[in-house]
């Protein structure tokens, strides 16, 4: 009974805190630009409004248009439950859960792209093509980063892999994962979440035909994914798993806040890259994670 209550409590924390991050990012961007900006809780208001609206569907879509959104959201929630929260571990930890974590992220992307293609829209098909093409290099960097952590810890469980710090390759791993975080969450310089030009959008163009609760699920899933990558970055670099529970909670919250503010500053100070330059930046992120893997491998054989 206590274990079930803890799992539900962890799930509630993930679901409730996720929409806070985009609000902080928008507030940082507004502060840099000298504007007041929207309130930090704006996404909560938007989600509540979308849940009360009806769903408008094209006559061309199949049931997979809605099912893809639901499966993608559930996949992201399950992936979040695999991540540990400091020394308290993960609610759904088991041997090999790091492999499932990668597959769940890939499943969420596949379902989102499939739901976009189901509309028959050329614009949404273009956005889905860009999304999966970026994912080829992004997923390679994620897998390499997890290999680095697995080599250091000798385990394929996220709870064990994220317990120690990244060691000598911490800076390389942090830089690589931060670049992957920006790409996976469609942030500047890879994508602009505030743009409304279909020819340049990636994630936003894939959800043009969604409305009501399905659109709310997509927006909440995007914020949940951003929170997941922020927690993964913090725990991969800092020894949060070795701290006491109160200190680990404070360190994790401070690290996630730092990453979120950093995203806001990047979006304020950098422009979006041209499409032809995005593969170069993602390749750089992969190489940074690869160098961190080499450092971990050589360090273990000294």
Domain ranges of the chain: 15-32+40-297
pTM, full prediction: 0.95
What average pLDDT does the chain have? Answer: 91
Distance of CA 234 to the CA centre of its chain: 13
Residue 261: the pLDDT is 97
The angle subtended at Cα 179 by Cα 178 and Cα 180, nearest 5°, is 90
Q: Are 169 and 292 in contact (CB under 8 A)?
A: yes
Q: What average pLDDT score do residues 160-186 get?
A: 88
Q: How confident is the model at residue 300 (pLDDT cuts 50, 70, 90)?
A: low
Smallest CA-to-CA distance from 80 within 4, 179, 11 is with 11
Tell me the mean pLDDT in the region 234-260: 91
How much is the pLDDT for 174? 93
Lowest mean pLDDT segment, chosen from 32-41, 222-231, 233-242: 233-242
pLDDT at 302 over 50: no
Which of the four pLDDT bands, split at 50, 70 and 90, describes residue 276?
A: confident
Average pLDDT over residues 173-186: 94
Q: Please state, for a pLDDT cut of 90, what percent of the chain lies above it.
A: 66
**What average pLDDT score do residues 165-186 get?**
88
CA distances in angstroms from 37 to 47, 156, 199, 261, listed in the order given: 18, 43, 26, 15
Using alpha carbons, list the distances in angstroms from residue 86 to 23, 233, 276.
25, 13, 39
The number of beta carbons lying within 10 Å of the beta carbon of residue 268 is 15
pLDDT digits (tens, 9 = 90+) for 92-147: 889 999 999 999 999 999 999 999 999 998 888 888 998 999 999 899 999 999 99
Cβ atoms of residues 160 and 200 within 8 Å: no
pLDDT in tens, 46-83: 999 999 999 999 888 999 999 999 999 999 999 999 99
Confidence of residue 3 (pLDDT cuts 50, 70, 90): confident
Task: Name the residue among 178, 190, 136, 181 with its Cα closest to residue 292.
Answer: 178
Residue length of the chain: 302
The residue whose two tokens read 């942030």 is 187
Q: Looking at residue 74, what is its pLDDT?
A: 97
44 CA to centre of own chain: 18
Mean pLDDT of 195-209: 78
Q: How confident is the model at residue 228 (pLDDT cuts 50, 70, 90)?
A: very high
**For residue 19, which of 37, 38, 42, 39 has the smallest C-alpha distance?**
42
Q: What is the 3-state secondary structure (H, E, C) of the chain?
A: CHHHHHHHHHHHHHHHHCCHHHHHHHHHHHHHHCCCCCCCCHHHHHHHHHHHCCCCCCCCCCCHHHHHHHHHHHHHHHHHHHCCCHHHCCCCCCCCHHHHHHHHHHHHHHHHHHHHHCCCCHHHHHHHHHHHHHHHHHHHHHHHHHHHHHHHHCCCCHHHHCCCCCHHHHHHHHHHHHHHHHHHCCCCCCCCCCCCCCCCCCCHHHHCCCCHHHHHHHHHHHHHHHHHHHHHHHHHHCCHHHCCHHHHHHHHHHHHHHHHHHHHHHHHHCCCCCHHHHHHHHHHHHHHHHHHHHHHHHHCCC
Query: Looking at residue 2, what is its pLDDT?
Result: 58
């Amino acid at each position: 009974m206590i274990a079930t209550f803890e799992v539900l409590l962890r799930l509630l924390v993930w679901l409730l805190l996720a929409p806070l991050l985009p609000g902080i990012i928008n507030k940082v961007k507004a502060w840099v630009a000298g504007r007041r900006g929207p309130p930090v809780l704006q996404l909560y208001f938007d989600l509540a409004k979308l849940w009360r609206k009806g769903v408008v569907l094209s006559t061309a879509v199949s049931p997979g248009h809605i099912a893809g959104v639901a499966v993608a959201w559930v996949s992201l929630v399950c992936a979040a439950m695999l991540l540990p929260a400091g020394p308290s571990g993960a609610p759904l930890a088991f041997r090999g859960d790091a492999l499932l974590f990668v597959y769940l992220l890939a499943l969420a992307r596949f379902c989102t792209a499939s739901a976009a293609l189901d509309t028959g829209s050329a614009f949404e098909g273009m956005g889905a093509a860009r999304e999966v093409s970026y994912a080829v290099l992004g997923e390679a960097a994620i897998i390499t980063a997890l290999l680095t952590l697995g080599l250091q810890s000798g385990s394929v469980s996220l709870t064990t892999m994220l317990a120690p710090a990244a060691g000598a390759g911490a800076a390389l791993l942090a830089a690589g994962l931060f670049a992957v975080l920006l790409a996976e969450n469609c942030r500047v310089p890879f994508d602009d979440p505030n743009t409304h030009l279909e020819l340049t959008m990636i994630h936003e163009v894939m959800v043009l035909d969604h409305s009501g609760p399905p659109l709310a699920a997509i927006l909440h899933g995007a914020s949940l994914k951003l929170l997941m990558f922020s927690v993964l970055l913090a725990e991969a670099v800092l020894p949060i798993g070795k701290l006491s529970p109160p200190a680990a909670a404070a360190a994790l919250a401070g690290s996630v806040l730092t990453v979120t503010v950093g995203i806001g500053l990047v979006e304020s100070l950098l422009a979006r890259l041209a499409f032809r330059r995005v593969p170069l930046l993602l390749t750089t992120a992969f190489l940074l994670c690869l160098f961190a893997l080499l450092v971990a491998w050589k360090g273990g054989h000294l």
